Structure 1
Amino acid sequence: MSERMTRIVELGLAVLAIATAVWCWNRGVQTSDFAPAMDSAPAFTGTHYSGTWIGAATALVIVAGLLVIDVVRRRDRGGPQ
């Protein structure tokens, strides 16, 4: 595989990793609306964060960052373009 094709594939994988990270993050945050417990109490919204989904999103962002760093390294190495 040529250097240029490798860079294109890595950039594509980085974009895919970011898109998947956004999806994972959205799956990891859930909100619930609760009715008032008593007549004089206000209603409220609770937020639940799932560590597994948030952790997966974080790992995917790290992978995407490493892919972008490698693309820049390959470009700056001075090889054939």
Structure 2
Amino acid sequence: MSARVVRVAEAGLAVAFVALSVWCWNRGVQTSDFAPLAEGAPPFSTTHYSGAWIGAATASVVAAGLLVIDVIRRALRD
């Protein structure tokens, strides 16, 4: 397999990891809106962060970063 094909495949995989990261992050953040508790009080909202989804998004960004670093290394080496 040629070095160019490997670089293109790694770059494509890095883009896929970034897309996976965005998807995981969106699954890990949930906002809930609530009506006022008392007459005249303002409505409020809460945000719940799921550690597993946020962790998966972080791991995915790290993997994408490592792939980008490897693509750059391969490009400079050739």
Q: TM-score, normalised by structure 2?
A: 0.96
Please state whether the residue corresponding to 1:36 is helix, strand or coil: coil
| Match in the other structure for 1:40 | 40
Partner of 1:17: 17
Q: Structure 1 length as normaliser, TM-score?
A: 0.93
CA distance in 1, matches of 2:48, 2:12: 32
Identify unmatched segments of 5+ residues in structure 1. none
Identity of counterpart residues, as a percentage?
A: 67
Alignment correspondent of 1:77: 77
Give secondary structure in 1 for the equivalent of 2:47. Answer: strand
C-alpha deviation, 1:40, in angstroms = 2.6
Alignment gaps of 5+ in structure 2: none
Deviation at 1:17, TM superposition (A): 0.2
Task: State yes or no: 1:61 paired with 2:61.
Answer: yes
AA aligned to 2:62 is I
Q: Take 1:43 and 1:71, find their aligned partners in 2: how far apart are those partners?
A: 49
Q: Find the aligned partners of 1:62 and 1:23 in 2 and give their Cα distance.
A: 15
Instruction: Indicate the residue corresponding to 1:6 in structure 2.
Output: 6
